[in-house]
Every structure is written in structure tokens, then in C-alpha cells.
């Protein structure tokens, strides 16, 4: 179990979501990264693990229209392309953290 972030904040003007994992660990996730890394059954083949979603089909200016915590282990994003079936666990989000420390 990954521990939850201490803060999660969608910054619409920058098209990013800022996730604060600790006092000096902040990941700035672009909306597009969050959309293209979605691991739901519509985006990734459950049997083979192959990615179904072609990242090139995701608009650069995709927006997050809603964000809901799922228990204490994940967050569910709704995107402006209508996609809202993905549940991003803290472990998943930490795994794709784009900050200089993780990247
Ligand atoms: Zn998905
Ligand atoms: Zn990081």
C-alpha cells in the first residue's frame, strides 16, 4: 500500500494536477500524462497488458472536468474527452511521477 499524498490540486490554467507526496516532493502531472497513462480496461488490455489507447489520439489541451477520491487508495479523474472509467491508485501515480527526483 502506498501512502496517500498530502495534497492533490488540479491547476486548470496550466492543465496539470499537482500531487504533493511529501514536504519536498511534488509531482506536476500534465492532464495528458494522466489520460495516456490510464490503466483501465478500456485503455489497457487486461489479458496482455498491451496499451489499447493510442497516446497520439489524446488532445494536448485535454482537461480534467472532475476528480474524486476513491477510498483512501486512489483518485478517479473525469476527462474532457468523456473518459471517466479509470481509477488511478497512489501506487500507479507514484510510479509515473514526472518530478526530477523520480524521473
Ligand atoms: Zn482508461
Ligand atoms: Zn516524484
Condensed to tens digits (0 to 9), the pLDDT of residues 61-87 reads: 999 999 999 999 999 999 999 999 999
Ligand 2 centroid to 67 CA: how many Å?
20
SS3 (DSSP) at 13: helix
Query: Structurally, how many domains does the chain consist of?
Result: 1
Nearest-ligand number for the alpha carbon of 37: 1
Task: Let me know if residue 103 belongs to a domain.
Answer: no
The reported pTM is 0.94
- Let me know if residue 66 belongs to a domain: yes
CATH of the domain at 79: 3.30.2020.30
Whose grid coordinates read 500507479? 92
How far is CA 67 from each of CA 29, 55, 78, rounded to the nearest angstrom? 14, 21, 6
Task: From 89, 81, 97, 103, select the one nearest 22 (Cα to Cα).
Answer: 97
pLDDT in tens, 2-46: 789 999 999 999 999 999 999 999 999 999 999 999 999 999 999
C-alpha 43 – ligand 1 centre gap (Å): 4
Contact 65, 80 (CB under 8 A): yes
Q: Which ligand is nearest to the CA of 41?
A: 1
Query: Mapping DSSP to helix (H, G, I), strand (E, B) and coil, where does residue 93 land?
Result: helix
* 101 domain-assigned: no
Amino acid at each position: 500500500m502506498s501512502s496517500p499524498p498530502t495534497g492533490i490540486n488540479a491547476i486548470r490554467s496550466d492543465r496539470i494536477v499537482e500531487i504533493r507526496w511529501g514536504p519536498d516532493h511534488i509531482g506536476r502531472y500534465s492532464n495528458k500524462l494522466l489520460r495516456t497513462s490510464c490503466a483501465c480496461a478500456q485503455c489497457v488490455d487486461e489479458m496482455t497488458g498491451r496499451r489499447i489507447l493510442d497516446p497520439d489520439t489524446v488532445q494536448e489541451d485535454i482537461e480534467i472536468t472532475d476528480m474524486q477520491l476513491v477510498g483512501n487508495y486512489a483518485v478517479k479523474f473525469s476527462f474532457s474527452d468523456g473518459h471517466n472509467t479509470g481509477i488511478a491508485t497512489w501506487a500507479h501515480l507514484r510510479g509515473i511521477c514526472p518530478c526530477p527526483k523520480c524521473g
